[in-house]
Amino acid sequence: MGIIFNEKTGEFHLYNRRISYIMKILRNGQMGQLYFGRRIHQKEQYDYLLENRYRPTTAYVYEGEYSFSLEHIKQEYPAYGTTDFRMPALEILQENGSRITEFTYVSHKIRRGKPKLCGLPATYTQQEDEADTLEILLKDQLLGAELILRYTIFRDYDAIARSASFQNAGEQTFWLTRAMSLSLDLPDDEYQWMQFSGAWGRERYIKERWLQPGIQAVNSTRGASGHAHNPFVVLRRLHTDEFQGEAIGFSLIYSGNFLAQAEVDNFGVTRLMMGINPFQFAWCLKPGEEFTTPEAVMVYSHEGLNGMSQTFHRLYGKRLVRGEWRDKERPILINNWEATYFDFNEEKLVEIARAAKEDGVELFVLDDGWFGGRCQESSGLGDWWPNLDRLPGGIKGLAQRIEKLGMKFGLWVELEMVNKDSQLYRNHPDWIIHTPGRCVSHGRKQYVLDFSRKEVVDYIGGMIEKLLSDAPVSYIKWDMNRSITQCFSAEFPPERQGEIFHRYILGVYQLYERLTARFPHILFESCASGGGRFDPGMLYYAPQAWTSDDTDGIERLKIQYGTSFVYPLSSMGAHVSAVPNHQLYRNTPMDTRGNVAYFGAFGYELDLGRLTLEEHQIVRRQIAFVKQYRGLIQTGVFYRLKSPFEGNMTAWMVVSDDKTRAIVAYYKVLNEVNGPFRRLFLHGLDPERCYLLEWEGEEREEKPAFYGSELMNAGLVISDASSGEASPGNHCTDFWSRVAVLTAIQDQEKGIEI
Ligand code: DGJ
């Protein structure tokens, strides 16, 4: 890994063993993009890759010359209006009304490791030799504005992290109205664009289309990354599939309004950009002030989509998630939300916890309804003290009772919100986000606290800190259940109102930072009406996120499959809930509900005390399974094998780093009569090793053994037709699934040497 700068040619080459990123200082001082992809040789010059030819109707930079037009030159951080007519990476509104800028190279620094991004979540290094960082300083001489383009190349991950900082080193105030985190010009448009979109209850479904001339984009305007789209897109080549071919993933480490877009110009050049959504954004920079964009990460894979996802999983799992919980196995939890909703008292909660403990659950989580006057949606948010009518012993008393049972205790909060029926609102009605003189809209009968204001964040922080220091709380579920409307802050002057959406999310990050620093033992799980803020920004503070409010096992196949394109399994809260399912009334078998939830941070979302004896046995088996294999599942190498978006069958597997163990799961949505004699082709195993195969929950004396080469090439036979026997006494039905554990053996009789 390294960063080479060639003084003579002005070219930079960032590389590790597998990827190269090459750019150069252009004739006019701007930064040009030459190459991003699989590792290529270091050469003095790659500038033959720049386009310098004459074309009719083009505007050229130098008088009398027809060879240098930014319309045709691939760039690093383009501006509009100086011969380039595509969407720019930056735009600055100046005092004279102009938006024209010219940032040119001044100097650069190459340093070991990776500097912190102040106040923003970002990937990090633990040792200096894990990454190198390049910072290129550019300046707009007329405006006195400075721009730093930052690039980090990692040694062990095929990823480049990018961000940009602006400094007003001049004398006039200006407004940043567009400041992308990354912009990348790619030489052609022969890519499929993949986005991860949906709505509440069906988050992160895969949507794909060929790039077309013009702009294709996903974004958020809600104040959170949102249910509708994720700040993540992929470009993949025609023949790229899960296992082979080129794919580039672009992920923004940000939880607020974002934009991810690809613009294909009339010469087939693709410009990919990603950053804070410029819509409704204007950041005022007075002389001496600075602004830094969130970080964006680009991952390159020539080993298909699985290869790309595996890089994201490792990078985000190890160098974005922080703290004590990063490398720990996640506790099996029970959450009372779907068991009780708002209808509970202390005794009922303890009863639920006791039943869960008997089955082996490790953490009891008390969801919404425990605080202030919160007995229904319309009251209590903002009053973060226990409701003593419901919990006579307070949170401390309840937590102690739960700990006495031998479980840890966790709590739900929604710190960014307030109900009008609350003491907080009565004392500080002006603390909600609202536009003076306009109607204030509610969402779920609640209002958004103005987290762009320090005093508001400090006050809420103080309240929750007191609670957490008084009681043994081991886990927090941090929810956020509505979008921001009438965005305006009473704290800021008119020229700063375009900053509020971003300042709000900075306030959320500040509070997360304060609480995670003060209570490092607490495991945080983020949530926003299910998966409405499942993004890398949140992962920096909360190692888990509630993947979706849709808890049905079959629905979760698509949700978890889509989510796995960028987020590691350890980050996906996945619970077994009751039947009929509360979101869509389906009766998915207990086994299948568990078999899906295994592939995440596992838990239950029902009253285990109400189960039949037979169901209890399944629960106990599931818990024993998770305890034995969660280390492997949560940190192993994950392969998607069959997509729920493409047919009736879904399959995936996880392999340990040393390839000695693996877990394979397949799921069939609807049963079929007299179906094909199917095989599943496994991946990631050691071809030379022999593996014993054991179907989870099925007693067999003789465990069959297979070579890795056999399972990957001849396939695992999954004879699941309803007319035949799936396994003794276990006939295939609708919503059916099976999980197998593979363990490498050192068995001479089987004829192998390890
Ligand atoms: C929305 C969350 O997604 C649910 O899991 C639950 O915590 C409710 N909020 C509580 O209000």
pLDDT tens per residue across span 425-457: 999 999 999 999 999 999 999 999 999 999 999
Which is catalytic among the residues 140, 185, 450, 479?
479
Q: Which residues of 508-547 are buried (b: 16+ CB within 10 A; e: fewer)?
A: bbbbbebbbeebeebbbbbbbbbbbbbbbbbbbbbbbbbb
Is pLDDT at 741 greater than 60 in this prediction? yes
Q: Is the dihedral of CA 194, 76, 100, 275 positive or negative?
A: positive
Please choose from 340, 367, 547 the residue to mutate so as to test ligand 1's pocket, defined by most ligand atoms within 8 A of CB: 367
Is pLDDT at 372 greater than 80 in this prediction? yes
Q: How confident is the model at residue 101 (pLDDT cuts 50, 70, 90)?
A: very high
Is pLDDT at 388 greater than 50 in this prediction? yes
Q: What would the mean pLDDT of 366-379 be, rounded to a whole number? A: 97
Q: What would the mean pLDDT of 547-561 be, rounded to a whole number? A: 98
Q: Please, what is the average pLDDT of the chain?
A: 96
Whose alpha carbon is nearest atom 10 of ligand 1? 368
Q: How confident is the model at residue 729 (pLDDT cuts 50, 70, 90)?
A: low
Which distant-in-sequence residues (6+ apart) come within 8 Å of 259 by Cβ?
A: 180, 217, 218, 219, 273, 274, 275, 276, 277, 278, 279
pLDDT at 722: 54
pLDDT at 675: 85
Is pLDDT at 475 greater than 80 in this prediction? yes
Is pLDDT at 751 greater than 70 in this prediction? no
Q: How confident is the model at residue 315 (pLDDT cuts 50, 70, 90)?
A: very high
Residue 473 CB–ligand 1 contact under 6 Å: no
Whose alpha carbon is nearest atom 2 of ligand 1? 529
pLDDT at 754: 41
Please choose from 481, 547, 606 the residue to mutate so as to test ligand 1's pocket, defined by most ligand atoms within 8 A of CB: 481
Q: How confident is the model at residue 750 (pLDDT cuts 50, 70, 90)?
A: low
Q: How confident is the model at residue 730 (pLDDT cuts 50, 70, 90)?
A: low
- Pairwise CA distance, residues 259 & 273, whole Å: 8
pLDDT at 591: 96
Residue 371 CB–ligand 1 contact under 6 Å: no
pLDDT at 441: 97
Amino acid at 135: E
pLDDT at 276: 98
Q: Is 591 a catalytic residue?
A: no
Note the pLDDT tens digit of each residue in 203-255.
999 999 999 999 999 999 999 999 999 999 999 999 999 999 999 999 999 99
Is pLDDT at 188 greater than 80 in this prediction? yes
pLDDT at 49: 96
Please choose from 366, 479, 526, 605 the residue to mutate so as to test ligand 1's pocket, defined by most ligand atoms within 8 A of CB: 479
Residue 106 or 750, more confident? 106
Is pLDDT at 694 greater than 90 in this prediction? yes
Report how far ligand 1's centroid is from the alpha carbon of 754 (Å).
50
Is pLDDT at 296 greater than 60 in this prediction? yes
Report how far ligand 1's centroid is from the alpha carbon of 362 (Å).
21
Q: How confident is the model at residue 753 (pLDDT cuts 50, 70, 90)?
A: very low
Is pLDDT at 366 greater than 70 in this prediction? yes
pLDDT at 699: 81
Residue 605 CB–ligand 1 contact under 6 Å: no
Q: Is 188 a catalytic residue?
A: no
Q: Is the dihedral of CA 323, 326, 331, 332 positive or negative?
A: positive
Residue 525 CB–ligand 1 contact under 6 Å: no
Report how far ligand 1's centroid is from the alpha carbon of 509 (Å).
20
Report how far ligand 1's centroid is from the alpha carbon of 556 (Å).
17
Q: Concatenate the DSSP letters of all residues of 624-640 into one string.
A: HHHHHHHHHHHHSEEEE
Q: What would the mean pLDDT of 477-503 be, rounded to a whole number? A: 98
Residue 529 CB–ligand 1 contact under 6 Å: yes
Is pLDDT at 721 greater than 70 in this prediction? no
Sheet of strand 19-25: strand arrangement: 2-6, 11-15, 19-25, 31-38
- Pairwise CA distance, residues 444 & 434, whole Å: 16
Note the pLDDT tens digit of each residue in 572-595.
999 999 999 999 999 999 999 999
Q: How confident is the model at residue 720 (pLDDT cuts 50, 70, 90)?
A: low
Note the pLDDT tens digit of each residue in 607-640.
999 999 999 999 999 999 999 999 999 999 999 9
Q: How confident is the model at residue 719 (pLDDT cuts 50, 70, 90)?
A: confident
Considering the entire predicted model, what is its pTM? 0.97
Which class for 434: exposed (0-12), middle (13-18), buried (19 or more C-beta within 10 A)?
A: buried
Q: What would the mean pLDDT of 475-486 be, rounded to a whole number? A: 98
Is pLDDT at 724 greater than 80 in this prediction? no
Nearest to 654 by CA among 739, 738, 536, 718: 739
Are residues 203 and 227 in contact, defined by beta-carbon separation less than 8 angstroms?
yes
Q: What would the mean pLDDT of 331-353 be, rounded to a whole number? A: 98
Whose alpha carbon is nearest atom 9 of ligand 1? 529
